[in-house]
């Protein structure tokens, strides 16, 4: 596997956040206000896309990821063979599966930064808990999606 | 190996948390809270409130002369159609800048509950439906509403020219010549006033609208200084974090502490009521019942989102001082979708116990009723409620309400801006 492009500190923070969420969930001891169940803690920030066409990583501009504040992320896109992809159409959505709601904003990939990096603007999480963010990617290498789990 | 470590840690943290729940009320001298819980408490404390950055859309936001002018405009009943309504009519300075009524009363009855002002400078969205994106744009909405101030922007420009000219011009520069501007003109519901507005040249309309925007910017410069003050809860958290012995000003009773534990734990209030203002600044359909009185259909954020994007005075408007890149909340706002239907902004819970009735149209008279609503989670009258029921015993409901009482604190307004003796009211 390629070595992760994401800073180690974010991985640590994400891990801590995941533990915090799990601990709070353990404390909850019963039904909460919001629907659904908490999924398992897959917190990778470098992933192969669903059909194996791309390797994708995400890097927020501020760590730990703040709640209630707009942030920018850098998404790095390689083909599965490690070639950086600069020309691609990338859309983003997501939400909290256990709450049944989407993201509080409509983040967008606004421009390519070169060397496979893409700027994602308008990212925001308005509460702690388990979030997913999903990118749909279209380039000459094909159409594919990738989903990241975020624990806040 | 990592997974096994995670599993062990999670189980451990859970057991520690459960232990803390069972003995939380009998331990003294050591923290009653786990590190995870303490981190949550810290995030809710006023000492964690985010510093108030500049308002890019209002270059006068931190101008003291603008704030002093805004203060007097806030209390001035000449800014109304009948000469009897000011901002302070509903935003009563001695009542947490709200009025305690289910539905606000200006020149007529409105369809919404008055919201308090303290801390709203931190919020990206104003009004229950977030239909404006700044304090100054918010201030302008009621001024031209037929049921709130009931006036119009040409009228207000004349008031400024006749009563505040020197102070206005010191801050905003020269007022336009109003000789040929009608006493009453504006894009409002009243057809005579609207017709007069339509007859004005576009250039004159823009000049008057700019004066109008500046009225809002002055009022916002005042409102921006109105902040929540320290509550007993904040002092409690500070003492817990410092490992200090509690004083009468910081101590919580056993019930209050149990209520706090429910708030951040099983009752999950903290999901939406998060951060130092105890709001996520977002919009939720929580299935609040229809008001007892018949009001126009109210879709909440579903309409508010469209209004703010097309707003005459929004962050990207010609009257805003912001660059487009300063308007990211607006640029990336969710503007459609089923989640917006009958969704309303999460209110701050600071001073909540002294601020009945509750919800966007004052539908629920007491905190007892509010807790019962969240416990039973009824289906939404329309749209889809995000809630599911949570079982709370009578004791637990009482404890939650006791905790909410610890969030009361003073409203801080700097000396000279306190509005204790508003000039425009004492003159009358």
* DSSP assignment letter at B377: -
Assess contact for B112 and B128: CB atoms under 8 A: yes
C-beta atoms of A28 and B265 within 8 A: yes
Tens-of-pLDDT digits for all 428 residues of chain B? Answer: 333 333 343 333 443 333 333 333 334 445 689 999 999 999 999 999 989 999 999 999 999 999 999 999 999 999 999 999 999 999 999 999 999 999 999 999 999 999 999 999 999 999 999 999 999 999 999 999 999 999 999 999 999 999 999 999 999 999 999 999 999 999 999 999 999 999 999 999 999 999 999 999 999 999 999 999 999 999 999 999 999 999 999 999 999 999 999 999 999 999 999 999 999 999 999 999 999 999 999 999 999 999 999 999 999 999 999 999 999 999 999 999 999 999 999 999 999 999 999 999 999 999 999 999 999 999 999 999 999 899 999 999 999 999 999 999 999 988 777 654 444 433 33
Q: Given this model, what pLDDT does residue B417 score?
A: 73
Classify residue B383 as left (phi > 0), alpha (psi -120 to 50) or beta.
Answer: left
B 275-294 → A contacts, CB under 8 A:
275, 280-282
Alpha-carbon distance of B100 to B59, in angstroms, equals 33
Residues of B with CB below 8 A from A23's CB? 10, 13-14, 16-17, 34, 36
Q: Collect contacts of B238-247 with beta carbons under 8 A, ≥24 apart.
A: B238/B45, B238/B47, B240/B31, B240/B32, B240/B33, B240/B38, B240/B41, B241/B38, B241/B41, B241/B42, B241/B45, B243/B30, B243/B31, B245/B29
Residue of A nearest to B19 (CA): A27
Whole-Å CA distances, A113 to A5, A73, A74, B17: 15, 12, 9, 45
C-beta atoms of A32 and B270 within 8 A: no
Burial B273-293 (b: 16+ CB within 10 A, else e): bbbbbbbbbbbbbbbbeebee
How far is the alpha carbon of B94 from chain A, nearest alpha carbon, in Å?
30
Alpha-carbon distance of B413 to B424, in angstroms, equals 18
Alpha-carbon distance of B169 to B161, in angstroms, equals 9
* DSSP assignment letter at B291: P
Alpha-carbon distance of B400 to B258, in angstroms, equals 8
Assess contact for B172 and B214: CB atoms under 8 A: yes
Query: Looking at the complex, does the CB of residue B326 fall below 8 Å from at least one CB of chain A?
Result: no
The matching CATH number, chosen from 3.90.209.20, 3.40.228.10, 3.40.50.720, 2.60.40.1930, for A8-151 is 2.60.40.1930
**DSSP secondary structure string for all residues of B305-338:** HHHHHT-TTSTTSTT----GGG-HHHHTB---SG
Query: Side-chain half-sphere of B401: how many Cα atoms within 13 Å?
Result: 18
> In this complex, which of B17, B267, B281 lies closest to A68 when CB atoms are compared?
B281
Query: Looking at the complex, does the CB of residue B271 fall below 8 Å from at least one CB of chain A?
Result: yes
**Domain residues of chain A, as ranges?**
8-151
Residues of B with CB below 8 A from A38's CB? none
Q: Given this model, what pLDDT does residue A98 score?
A: 84
> In this complex, which of B13, B331, B374 lies closest to A26 when CB atoms are compared?
B13
Which of B186, B325, B347 shows the shortest CA–CA distance to B278? B347
How far is the alpha carbon of A58 from chain B, nearest alpha carbon, in Å?
19
Classified by CATH at the fold level, domain B64-227+412-426 comes out as Cytochrome Bc1 Complex; Chain D, domain 2 (1.10.760)
Q: Which of A26, A109, A119 to mutate to test the interface with B (most CBs of B within 10 A)?
A: A26
Query: Looking at the complex, does the CB of residue B332 fall below 8 Å from at least one CB of chain A?
Result: yes
Phi, psi of B269 (to 5 degrees): -60, -35
C-beta atoms of A129 and B267 within 8 A: no
Alpha-carbon distance of B231 to B137, in angstroms, equals 30
Alpha-carbon distance of B153 to B78, in angstroms, equals 12
C-beta atoms of A34 and B388 within 8 A: yes
Could you list the mean pLDDT of each consecutive 10-residue stretch along chain A, which spans 152 residues? 40 44 38 42 88 97 93 98 98 92 96 98 95 97 96 88
Query: Side-chain half-sphere of B144: how many Cα atoms within 13 Å?
Result: 26
Which of B200, B174, B213, B234 shows the shortest CA–CA distance to B47? B234
C-beta atoms of B14 and A26 within 8 A: yes
* DSSP assignment letter at B225: T
Alpha-carbon distance of B94 to B24, in angstroms, equals 37
Which of B73, B60, B53 shows the shortest CA–CA distance to B321? B60
- What would the CATH number be for the domain defined by B24-52+231-297+341-409? 1.10.760.10
Q: Given this model, what pLDDT does residue B416 score?
A: 72
> Which residue(s) pair with A137 in the sheet?
A90, A144
> In this complex, which of B13, B15, B272 lies closest to A127 when CB atoms are compared?
B272
Alpha-carbon distance of B115 to B100, in angstroms, equals 10
> In this complex, which of A70, A100, A127 lies closest to B329 when CB atoms are compared?
A70
C-beta atoms of B268 and A32 within 8 A: yes
C-beta atoms of A106 and B391 within 8 A: no
Classify residue B127 as left (phi > 0), alpha (psi -120 to 50) or beta.
Answer: left
Tokens of B71: 């203060």
Max Cα-Cα span within chain A? 49
Which of B235, B120, B214, B90 shows the shortest CA–CA distance to B159? B214
């Amino acid at each position: 596997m390629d070595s992760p492009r994401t800073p180690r500190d974010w991985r640590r923070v994400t891990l801590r956040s995941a533990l915090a969420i799990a601990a709070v969930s353990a404390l909850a001891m019963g039904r909460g206000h919001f629907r659904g169940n908490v999924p398992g803690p897959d917190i990778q920030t470098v992933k192969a896309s669903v059909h194996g066409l791309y390797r994708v990583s995400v890097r927020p501009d501020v760590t730990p990821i703040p709640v209630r504040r707009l942030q920018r992320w850098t998404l790095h896109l390689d083909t599965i063979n490690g070639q950086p992809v600069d020309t691609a159409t990338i859309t983003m959505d997501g939400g909290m599966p256990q709450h049944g709601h989407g993201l509080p904003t409509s983040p967008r990939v606004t421009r390519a930064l070169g060397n496979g990096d893409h700027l994602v603007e308008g990212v925001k999480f308005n509460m702690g808990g388990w979030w997913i963010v999903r990118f749909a990617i279209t380039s000459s290498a094909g159409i594919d999606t990738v989903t990241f789990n975020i624990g806040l | 190996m990592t997974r096994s470590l995670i599993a062990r840690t999670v189980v451990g943290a859970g057991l520690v948390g459960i232990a803390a729940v069972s003995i939380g009320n009998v331990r003294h001298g050591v923290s009653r809270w786990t590190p995870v819980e303490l981190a949550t408490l810290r995030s809710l404390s006023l000492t964690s409130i985010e510093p108030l950055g500049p308002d890019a859309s209002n270059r006068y936001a931190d101008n003291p002369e603008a704030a002093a002018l805004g203060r007097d405009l806030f209390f001035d009943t000449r800014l109304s159609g009948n000469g009897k309504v000011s901002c302070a009519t509903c935003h009563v300075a001695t009542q947490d800048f709200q009025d305690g009524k289910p539905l606000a009363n200006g020149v007529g009855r409105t369809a919404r509950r008055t919201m308090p002002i303290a801390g709203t400078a931190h919020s990206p969205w104003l009004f229950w439906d977030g239909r404006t994106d700044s304090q100054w744009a918010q201030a302008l909405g009621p001024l031209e509403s037929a049921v709130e101030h009931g006036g119009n922007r040409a009228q207000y420009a004349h008031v400024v020219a006749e009563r505040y000219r020197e102070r206005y011009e010191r801050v905003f520069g020269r007022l336009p010549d109003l000789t040929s501007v009608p006493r009453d003109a504006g894009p409002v519901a009243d057809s005579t006033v609207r017709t007069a507005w339509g007859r004005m040249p576009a250039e004159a309309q823009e000049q008057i609208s700019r004066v109008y925007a500046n009225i809002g910017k002055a009022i916002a410069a005042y409102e921006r200084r109105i902040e929540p003050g320290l509550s007993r809860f904040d002092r409690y958290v500070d003492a817990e974090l410092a490992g200090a012995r509690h004083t009468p000003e910081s101590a919580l009773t056993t019930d209050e502490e149990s209520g706090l534990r429910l708030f951040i734990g099983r009752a999950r209030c903290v999901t939406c009521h998060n951060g130092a203002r105890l709001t996520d600044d977002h919009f939720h359909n929580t299935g609040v019942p229809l008001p007892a009185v018949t009001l126009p259909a109210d879709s909440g954020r579903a309409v508010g989102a469209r209004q703010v994007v097309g707003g005459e005075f929004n962050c990207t408007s010609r009257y805003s001082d912001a660059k487009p890149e300063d308007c990211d909340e607006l640029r990336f706002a969710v503007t459609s979708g089923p989640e917006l239907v009958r969704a309303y902004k999460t209110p701050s819970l600071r001073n909540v116990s002294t601020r009945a009735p509750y919800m966007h149209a004052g539908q629920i008279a007491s905190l007892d009723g509010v807790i019962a609503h969240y416990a039973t989670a009824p289906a939404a009258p329309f749209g889809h409620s995000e809630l599911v029921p949570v079982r709370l015993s009578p004791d637990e409901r009482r404890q939650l309400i006791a905790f909410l009482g610890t969030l009361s604190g003073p409203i801080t307004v700097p000396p000279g801006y306190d509005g204790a003796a508003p000039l425009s009211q004492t003159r009358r």
